[in-house]
A and B are shown apart, each in its own frame.
Chain A
Amino acid sequence: MKKLSIRNIDQGAIMKLNKILKNAFLITVACLALSACATSQKAGQMQGDVYTGTDTVEYLASGVPDRVFFATNESVLTTASRETLRKQAAWLRKNSKITIVLEGHADERGTREYNLALGERRANAAKDYLMTYGISSDRISVLSYGKERPVDSGSNPLAWSKNRRSVTVKAN
């Protein structure tokens, strides 16, 4: 699989720059689809080990997803997470009376106490980002569940990726 994609990029090297980028993107998508098929999961739901699907996502309002996902042991916000949080911030600015709880979660592949801390760190990463987009910290509280409340009870990488999340919940 890796060899294949490298060869294809080599061929693309003779194309124009924009075409290279376009091709590389298509190849990446193809790779994801293939690897997903190989593990008999639903197609294209993870990038690296961050969940990119929408199975578990709920919406705070139309077009405002309620949750963001993280890589294993990480609390760094991905590009997609930041986009989701900007949408949440816009929605919160429009609905200035709403207060929220950010619920931070970890997957089951870690010790309980460390995961409690990790959940708190993830929820705070989301909180910090919302604050930089003008949401007052008074309106945000943080609650870590560690690995206590998975959404997917599976013991596989896809399930774990859905469980590594920070969920924004309306508090009032």
Chain B
Amino acid sequence: MFRIFLIISFVLLPFKAFALIEVDITRGNLNPLPIAVSPLSIDENSRKSFEKVLKKKNIGSEISLIVENNLKTSGLFNPLNKDAFLQAPDIANLKPRFEDWNLIKAQALITGKVNFVDEKLRVEFRLWDVLAGKEMMALAFTTVPNNWRRVGHIITDKVYERLTGERGYFDTRIIYVAEEGPKTRRIKKLAIMDQDGANNKFLTLGNELVLTPRFNPTSQMVTYLSYFRNLPRVYLLDIETGMQEVVGDFPGMTFAPRFSPDGKKIIMSFAKDGNSDIYTMDLENRIVEKITNHPSIDTSPSYSPDGKYICFNSDRSGYQQIYIMKSNGTNVKRISFGRGLYGTPVWSPRGDLIAFTKLHKGKFYIGVMRTDGSGERLLTENFYQEAPSWSPNGRVLIFYRETKTDQKGEGFSAKLWSIDLTGYNERLVNTPTDASDPSWSSLLSN
């Protein structure tokens, strides 16, 4: 049997060689690409050195596990069980025996090598097309050993990019609100973690209520709402230094903040006398501009990636709907016309879509529509969910979902979930506590 199989695959090889593998991500992927992630090989000296520094027995295997987990989570790849691998990692990295990998039905193969060089972590990796018997990519980089998890994410980004033709989203972080305690007296803290849930860190202590954190374009600053001294105001936080400051000097509640795509302004709502309007503040010269001027509630503003337009939420028609306008506040146009209420519009980083939350007949939906309001598509339905945030490549949305409480008012939980733009691959994003209001960073290794 094996012999026949091998002969057939040999015969097919020359034909396949002209069309290297590709992964189509524009449709729901029901046949994830079988990929073999060979553990990164490591020599004994390097292994011992890393074990000393990082307390990890085999850093090569650890990094490849990160790659494997990322690929699996994307829903586009099916990493194969390592027990079936026939070739040793070090030999595979030199020259894979494609027949062996073909035998376990791998279509793509990742191999690599880790070295301890001058106190640093040097990693090289290769991506192979198994059917064509060709190397698709080879890269090497050097970094401090503590960055080993990021190395796994960067490898995944490169592989994803080579196979899908789109930028990846793995070397990224999520900022969110960590929640604890009873629903009536919820304690909320800002928290940040890697996209895969590792390196979770709390940024505030929970002494005051905090909501809706959002990254700036370089992902070093965060703007959010804090009830410090019972004065709900928009704040700015530098993640590295921990420095915080109030944004602007408003005589009332400011909320719903986001950065402009150039990172120079914060756009937000300011509520006064029962009326919320949208304002911007320039972070350099502190000049405040009023963008909307309407007796209705105008909130949840989000810029288009070119900064020329703003989508926002308004109830000027009587109910919550989505509108767009030029960034100076002119040419206001309603774009949501479906049944139900629409909130939390967020412009896609690719510019072509707006994600939103919709409430219709007692159910909440996360959906997307084109920027003129056409092509509305609902991705997921639930008892309660809201606040989508885009992955930097505009292919995945992260949002939060709350459960219904029982008769006694118990059983409440809030969790982060992600879903592909296609409506497939809905996943729980693990967090150490309950979680809400996620915001996805840009790619850190740009």
Binding site for B on A (CB under 8 A): 73, 75, 108-114, 116-118, 120-121, 123-125, 128, 142-144, 148-155, 159
Is there an interface contact between A109 and B255, defined as CB atoms closer than 8 Å? no
Among listed B133-141, B401-409, B415-423, interface-contacting one = B401-409
Q: Name the CB-closest residue of A to B188.
A: A148
Is there an interface contact between A109 and B384, defined as CB atoms closer than 8 Å? yes
On whether A121 and B409 interact (CB within 8 A), knowing A111-B357, A112-B387, A143-B232, the answer reads no
Is there an interface contact between A144 and B437, defined as CB atoms closer than 8 Å? no
Report if B174 contacts A (CB, 8 A).
no
Instruction: Choose from B225, B297, B404 the contact partner of A118 (Cβ within 8 Å).
Output: B297
Interface size class of B (residues with CB under 8 A): 35 or more
A153 to B410 alpha-carbon distance, docked (Å): 7
Residues of B within 8 A of A149 (CB): 184-185
Residues of B within 8 A of A155 (CB): 383, 404-405, 409, 412
On whether A114 and B387 interact (CB within 8 A), knowing A120-B274, A153-B405, the answer reads no
Is there an interface contact between A113 and B359, defined as CB atoms closer than 8 Å? no
Report if B211 contacts A (CB, 8 A).
yes
- Give the shortest distance, in Å, between B213 (CB) and chain A (any CB): 12
Q: Name the CB-closest residue of B to A157.
A: B362
Residues of A within 8 A of B209 (CB): 148
Type the 1/0 row for B256-294, where 1 means its CB is closer than 8 Å to any CB of A: 100000000000010101111000000000000000000
Report if B253 contacts A (CB, 8 A).
yes
Report if B216 contacts A (CB, 8 A).
no
- Give the shortest distance, in Å, between A44 (CB) and chain B (any CB): 20
Known: A111-B320, A150-B184. 15 other contacts (CB 8 A): A75-B274, A109-B384, A110-B343, A111-B357, A112-B386, A112-B387, A113-B255, A113-B313, A116-B253, A117-B276, A117-B299, A121-B297, A125-B274, A148-B211, A149-B184
Is there an interface contact between A117 and B271, defined as CB atoms closer than 8 Å? yes
Residues of B within 8 A of A124 (CB): 273-274
Q: Name the CB-closest residue of B to A151.
A: B184
- Give the shortest distance, in Å, between B94 (CB) and chain A (any CB): 54
A116 to B212 alpha-carbon distance, docked (Å): 12
Is there an interface contact between B300 and A113, defined as CB atoms closer than 8 Å? yes
Residues of B within 8 A of A154 (CB): 405, 407, 409
Within 8 A of A (CB), among B198-236: 209, 211-212, 225, 230, 232
Residues of B within 8 A of A113 (CB): 212, 255-256, 269, 299-300, 313, 343-344
